[in-house]
C-alpha cells in the first residue's frame, strides 16, 4: 500500500473511531475505541513498513494551516517511528477493549485513536509548522488522556499540570530552535532546512534548543519530572502508548534535526547528548530501583532506557563527527534497535501493570504479591517483559544493550583523549544501569507477582479478560521476535541510517542466526543462546526428574509459627541496601513515629516507619523556579492594589518616561 493512502487511512480511521466512541454508549465504547486505535496502528505500521521498504512520500497541501502550509514527507527514518508507534498502538488498542470495558469515559476513549494518529503523523511532518502543530496536538491529546481519571485521584491533576508545563517548556525550546532554523534557512520545509548553509554558531544554538525540547519529551534528566508523574497516572493503555511510543518521538526529533537537517555537527553536541543520556540512564534506573509504585517504577525505567538510547546516539554522533562512520552507524543502529526493543517490552510491562491495577486496584508493590497463582498468564507475560527490561539474555533488551556496548568499546584505537575518557565512563554507566536495571526488575517481578499476597486486594485478584491477555501475548511475541532475530532488522536499519547523511555507511549489522557487526569482530547468537538454555534446562529437568515426588512444606519461621504475609520482604525492604548505598544521591526521608502507651512512656504501643525517596533533581531545581515566579507575582500585585491614584500615577510616570525618552533619542 502506498504511504499516502496509509496516512489517509490513519486519519480516516482515527476520525471515525473518535466519532464512533463519542456516539456509542458505555458498553461498546471501549470496543470501538480499541478497535479503531488498533486500526490506526495497523495503517501506521503499513506506512512505516512501506517507507522502510524504500518507498518515499512527499506532499504539500497549501490550503491547510493559515500563514503556512502542510507538508508531509515520509522517508525511512519517519517510517521506523511510524511503524514503532503503530505497533504499540495495535497492542494498546486491543488491550483497551478489555481494560476500559464498561467504564471508559467518553472523552478518554474517543481521544485514544486521535492520540495514536497524531503520534504517527508527527514523524511524517515535512515542514516546521506542520511538525509543530502535530507535535502540540499530540501533546494536548496525551494531556487530556492523562487527565482521564482526574476524578479518581487528586494526584492526576498535579501530574497533568506538571506534564502540561514541562511539555510546553519543551515546545518553547523546539519552537524557537526550529523557527530560528527556518528563518536562517529561508524556508520552512525540511528540504530547505537540509540545504541551508548556516554558521556553526547558529547551528549550535539551534541544536541545543532543539535538544532541550526533544530531551524533555524523551524524559531526559533534569527535564524528566513530568514523566514519572504523568505516565503512572494515565490509564494503562495510555501509559503504554506514552512510555513506549510518545517518548520515542523525542529521539526522532534529535535524529531528524541533529543528524539529518543539521547534518551532524561538532563533536561537543553529541558529547552533550551522551552526557545527558548517561545522567538520565543512571538517575532513572536509580529512582526505579527504589520506587515502590509499579507504574512509577516503569516510568523511571523509561527515563533510563531513553537515556541509554540517547547515550548511544550521542556516542554515535561523536564518532560520526570524527569521521568514524562504522562506529557511528553501529551506535545509532543500537540506539534505534533499543528504541524498538524498549517499545516492545515497555508496552508489555505497562499493560501488565494495568492488568494488575485493574485486578487489585493497586500500584503499590509493597501491597502486591501472590499474583503468580492468581493471574498466571499475566505474571508470565510480565516476566517476559521484565526479562527484556533487565537486559538479560534471552530477552530482547539484551541484544540492543550488547550492540551499544560493542559500539562504545571499539572506539578507543585512534581516538583522542575526550573519547578515551568518555567511552570508559559511558561503559561504566551502561553497566551500572544494566546492573541496577536487573535489581529493579527482580524487585518488580519478585515482590509484585511472586510469593504470597501482602494485602486483601492482591489476594482477591482475578485473571484479566481474554482480550487483555491476548494483547499482552502479542506484545510478548513481538519482544520474542526482536530477541530471536535482531539481524533481520538489518536492512531496515540500514535504510534508516541512509537518511542520516553523516552516518550513512552500509549496513551496520547483518547475519541470520548469529548477529554480526560490520567492521567489528564481535558476534552473538541470541537464537543459539536461547536454544542452549532450553536444551540445557531440559537436560537438567530430564536427568533429575527421577526420584521422590515434590512435597509442599511450611516455610521456615525460625522455629516460630506460620509466617504472616506481613513478615514478607517488601519492595521497600528489597531496595533498602540500594537506598543505603546510594544514600548521597537519593537522600531518602525517614519518618519514625513512636506511639507510647498511655500509662507509661517506657511502653510502646506502636511504631510507624515510613520512608520516602523523592526525586532529588526535581527538589533541587524546580522549587526555586516556582518561588521566583511567585515572587514576581507578589511584586507585580503591588502595582494592582486597587488605588486608582496609583494606577494613574503609573500612567503619568509612564508618560513622563516616554516623553523623556522621546526627547533624549531625538
Partner 1 sequence: MTGTPALLLTLAPIVAPIAAAAAAYLMGWRRPVAIATVAAAAIVLIAGAWSATWTADGGEVAAGNWLRIDALSGVMLIVIGAVGVVATWAGIGYLDDELATGHTDVEGARRYGVLVPLFLAAMVVAVLANNLGLLWAAVEGTTIVTAFLVGHRRSRRSVEASWKYVIICSVGIALAYLGTVLVNYAAEHAGVEGSLDWTQLVAHASELDPGVMRLAFALLVVGFGTKAGLVPLHSWLPDAHSQAPAPVSALMSGVLLPVAVYALARYRVIAVAGIDPGFVRGLLLAVGLASLLLAAGLLLAQRDYKRLLAYSSIEHMALAVVGLAIGTPLAIAATLLHIVGHGLGKAVLFCSAGEILAREGTTRIDAVRGLFARTPVLAGLFGAGLVALLGLPPFSLFVSEIGLIRAMVGAGAWWVAAVVLLLLLVVFVAISGKAAGILLGDPPSRDPGVSAPAAGSSGVVGTVATVAGLRASTVVPLVGALVAVAVLGIVDWPLGQLLHAAGQIVGTR
Partner 2 sequence: MTQLLYLICGGLLLSSVMVLWRRELSAIVRLLVVQGVLLGALALVLAGRLDSVELVVVAIGVVALKAVLVPRILRRVLRDGNEARETEPLVNVTASIVAAAFLILLAYAASRPLVRLSPSAETQAVPVGLAMVLLGFFVLVTRRRALSQIVGFLLLDNGIAATAFLITGGVPGIVELAVSLDVLLVVLVLQVLTARLRTTFGGTDIDELRELHD
Partner 3 sequence: MSTLGVVVQVVLLIVVAPYLVGVMRQVRARLEGRAGAGAGQPWRDLRKLFRKEPMSPAGSSWVFVAAPAVLVASTLVIAAVSPFVATVSPLDGVADLFAVVALLLLGTVALALAGLDTGTAFGGMGASREMTVAALAEPTILLAGFALSARVGSTNLSAIVERGQQSPGAVLSPATLLAAVALAVVVVAEAGRLPVDNPSTHLELTMIHEAMVLEYAGRDLALVEFASALRLTVLLGLWANLFLPWGVATTASAPALLLGVVAFVAKVAVLGAVLAAGEVFMAKLRLFRVPELLAGSFLFGVLAVSSSFFLA
Interacting positions 49-88 with partner 2 (CB under 8 A): none
Minimum CB–partner distance for residue 363 and partner 2 (Å): 40
Residue 84's H or E segment, with its range, is helix 76-99
Residue with cell 484479566: 464
The partner in contact with residue 179, picked from partner 1, partner 2, partner 3, none with C-beta cut-offs of 5 to 8 angstroms by kind, is partner 1
Cβ proximity to partner 1, 460 vs 651, nearer residue: 651
Q: Kindly identify the residues of this chain, within the stretch 556-575, that bind partner 3 according to CB under 8 A.
A: 556-558, 563, 565, 567-570, 573-575
For partner 1, the closer of residues 65 and 377 by Cβ is 65
When CB distances are held under 5 to 8 angstroms depending on the partner's kind, the choice from partner 3, partner 1, partner 2, none that residue 499 binds is: none
| Residue among 23 and 535 whose Cβ is closer to partner 3 | 535
Using alpha carbons only, give the angle 533, 511, 83 rounded to the nearest 5 degrees.
Answer: 90
> Measuring CA to CA, which residue among 565, 378, 361, 362 is closest to residue 470?
378
- 563's contact among partner 3, partner 2, partner 1, none, with CB below 5 to 8 A by partner kind, is partner 3
Distance in angstroms (rounded) separating the CA atoms of residues 292 and 274: 29
CA angle 133–241–120, rounded 5-degree value: 40
Please, which residues have CB within 8 angstroms of residue 615's CB and are 6 or more apart in sequence? Answer: 225, 228, 287
**Residue 643 engages partner 2 in binding (rule: CB under 8 A):** yes
Grid coordinates belonging to 442: 527482580
Residues 279-318 that bind partner 3 (CB under 8 A): 289
Contacting partner 1 (CB under 8 A), which of 110, 129, 326, 467? 129
Binding to partner 1 by residue 364, rule CB under 8 A? no
By a kind-dependent CB cut-off of 5 to 8 A, residue 558 interacts, out of partner 2, partner 3, partner 1, none, with partner 3
User: Does residue 641 interact with partner 2 by CB under 8 A?
Assistant: yes
CA distances, 560 to each of 555, 557, 564 (Å): 10, 5, 11
Q: With contact defined as beta carbons under 8 Å apart, do 304 and 220 qualify?
A: no
Cell of 254: 534529535
User: Count of residues for the chain?
Assistant: 666
364 binds, among partner 1, partner 3, partner 2, none (CB under 5 to 8 A by kind): none
Q: Which of residues 600-639 bind partner 2 (CB under 8 A)?
A: 637
175 binds, among partner 2, partner 1, partner 3, none (CB under 5 to 8 A by kind): partner 1
Q: x/- binding map, residues 419-458, to partner 3, per CB under 8 A?
A: -xx-xxx-xxxxxx-xxx-xx--xx-xxx--xxx------
Selection from 175, 176, 166 nearest residue 142 by Cα: 166
Q: Could you say which of partner 1, partner 3, partner 2, none residue 168 binds, taking C-beta under 5 to 8 angstroms by partner kind?
A: partner 1
Q: Smaller CB distance to partner 1: residue 111 or 372?
A: 111
DSSP 125: B
Identify the CA nearest to 413 among candidates 331, 325, 324. Answer: 324
Rounded to the nearest 10 degrees, the angle between the axes of helix 571-581 and helix 267-290 is 130
Q: Which of 63, 67, 550, 601 binds partner 3 (CB under 8 A)?
A: 550
DSSP for 400-441, please give it.
HHHHHHHHHHTT-TT--HHHHHHHHHHHHHHHHHHHHHHHHH
Nearer Cβ to partner 1 (535/650)? 650
Angular region, 361: left φ>0, alpha ψ -120 to 50, beta rest: left
662 binds partner 2 (CB under 8 A): yes
Q: Which residues bind partner 1 (CB under 8 A)?
A: 62-69, 129, 132-133, 136-137, 139-140, 147, 150-152, 154, 156-157, 160-161, 164-165, 168-169, 172, 175-176, 179-180, 182-183, 188, 629-630, 632-637, 639-640, 644, 646-648, 650-651, 653-655, 658-659, 661-662, 665-666
Amino acid at each position: 500500500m502506498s504511504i499516502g493512502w496509509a496516512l489517509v487511512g490513519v486519519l480516516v480511521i482515527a476520525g471515525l473511531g473518535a466519532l464512533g466512541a463519542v456516539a456509542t454508549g458505555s458498553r461498546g465504547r471501549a470496543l470501538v475505541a480499541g478497535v479503531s486505535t488498533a486500526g490506526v496502528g495497523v495503517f501506521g505500521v503499513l506506512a512505516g513498513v512501506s517507507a522502510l521498504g524504500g518507498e518515499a512520500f512527499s506532499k504539500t497541501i497549501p490550503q491547510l494551516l493559515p500563514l503556512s502550509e502542510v507538508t508531509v514527507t515520509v522517508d525511512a527514518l519517519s517510517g521506523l517511528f511510524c511503524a514503532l508507534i503503530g505497533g504499540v498502538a495495535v497492542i494498546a488498542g486491543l488491550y483497551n477493549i478489555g481494560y476500559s470495558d464498561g467504564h471508559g469515559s467518553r472523552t478518554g476513549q474517543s481521544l485514544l485513536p486521535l492520540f495514536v494518529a497524531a503520534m504517527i503523523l508527527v514523524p511524517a511532518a515535512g515542514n516546521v509548522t506542520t511538525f509543530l502543530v502535530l507535535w502540540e496536538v499530540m501533546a494536548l491529546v496525551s494531556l487530556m488522556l492523562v487527565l482521564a481519571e482526574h476524578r479518581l485521584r487528586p494526584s492526576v491533576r498535579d501530574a497533568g499540570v506538571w506534564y502540561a508545563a514541562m511539555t510546553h517548556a519543551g515546545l518553547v525550546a523546539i519552537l524557537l530552535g526550529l523557527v530560528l532554523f527556518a528563518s536562517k534557512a529561508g524556508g520552512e520545509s525540511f528540504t530547505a532546512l537540509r540545504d541551508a548553509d548556516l554558521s556553526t554558531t547558529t547551528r549550535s544554538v539551534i541544536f541545543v534548543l532543539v535538544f532541550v525540547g526533544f530531551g524533555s519529551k524523551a524524559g531526559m534528566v533534569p527535564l524528566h519530572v513530568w514523566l514519572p508523574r504523568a505516565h503512572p497516572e494515565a490509564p494503562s493503555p495510555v501509559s503504554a502508548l506514552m512510555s513506549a511510543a510518545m517518548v520515542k518521538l523525542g529521539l526522532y526529533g534529535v535524529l531528524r534535526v541533529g543528524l539529518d537537517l543539521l547534518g551532524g555537527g561538532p563533536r561537543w553536541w553529541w558529547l552533550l547528548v551522551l552526557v545527558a543520556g548517561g545522567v538520565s540512564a543512571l538517575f532513572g534506573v536509580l529512582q526505579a530501583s527504589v520506587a515502590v509504585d509499579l507504574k512509577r517504577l516503569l516510568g523511571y525505567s523509561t527515563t533510563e532506557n531513553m537515556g541509554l538510547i540517547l547515550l548511544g546516539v550521542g556516542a554515535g554522533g561523536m564518532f560520526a563527527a570524527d569521521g568514524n562512520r562504522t562506529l557511528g552507524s553501529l551506535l545509532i543502529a543500537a540506539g534505534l534497535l533499543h528504541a524498538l526493543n524498549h517499545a516492545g517490552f515497555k508496552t508489555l510491562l505497562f499493560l501488565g501493570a494495568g492488568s494488575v491495577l485493574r485486578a487489585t486496584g493497586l500500584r503499590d508493590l509493597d501491597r502486591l504479591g501472590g499474583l503468580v497463582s492468581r493471574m498466571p498468564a499475566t505474571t508470565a507475560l510480565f516476566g517476559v517483559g521484565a526479562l527484556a527490561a533487565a537486559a538479560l539474555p534471552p530477552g530482547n533488551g539484551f541484544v540492543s544493550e550488547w550492540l551499544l556496548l560493542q559500539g562504545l568499546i571499539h572506539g578507543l584505537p585512534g581516538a583522542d583523549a575526550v573519547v578515551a575518557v568518555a567511552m570508559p565512563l559511558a561503559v561504566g554507566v551502561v553497566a551500572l544501569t544494566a546492573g541496577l536495571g536487573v535489581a529493579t526488575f527482580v524487585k518488580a517481578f519478585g515482590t509484585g507477582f511472586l510469593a504470597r499476597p501482602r494485602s486483601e486486594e492482591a489476594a482477591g485478584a482475578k485473571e484479566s479478560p481474554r482480550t487483555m491477555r491476548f494483547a499482552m501475548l502479542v506484545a510478548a511475541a513481538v519482544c520474542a521476535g526482536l530477541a530471536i532475530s535482531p539481524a533481520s532488522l538489518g536492512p531496515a536499519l540500514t535504510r534508516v541510517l541512509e537518511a542520516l547523511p553523516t552516518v550513512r555507511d552500509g549496513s551496520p549489522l547483518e547475519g541470520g542466526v548469529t548477529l554480526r557487526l560490520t567492521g567489528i569482530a564481535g558476534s552473538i547468537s541470541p537464537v543459539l543462546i536461547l536454544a542452549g538454555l532450553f536444551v540445557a534446562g531440559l537436560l537438567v529437568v530430564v536427568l533429575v526428574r527421577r526420584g521422590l515426588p515434590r512435597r509442599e512444606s511450611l516455610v521456615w519461621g525460625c522455629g516460630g509459627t506460620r509466617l504472616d504475609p506481613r513478615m514478607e520482604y517488601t519492595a521497600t525492604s528489597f531496595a533498602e541496601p540500594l537506598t543505603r548505598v546510594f544514600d548521597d544521591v537519593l537522600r531518602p526521608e525517614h519518618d519514625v513515629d513512636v506511639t507510647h502507651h498511655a500509662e507509661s512512656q517506657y511502653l510502646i504501643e506502636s511504631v510507624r516507619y515510613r520512608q520516602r525517596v523523592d526525586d532529588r533533581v526535581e527538589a533541587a531545581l524546580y522549587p526555586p523556579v516556582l518561588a521566583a515566579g511567585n515572587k514576581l507575582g507578589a511584586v507585580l500585585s503591588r502595582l494592582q492594589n486597587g488605588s486608582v491614584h496609583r494606577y494613574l500615577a503609573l500612567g503619568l510616570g509612564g508618560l513622563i518616561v516616554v516623553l523623556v525618552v522621546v526627547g533624549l533619542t531625538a
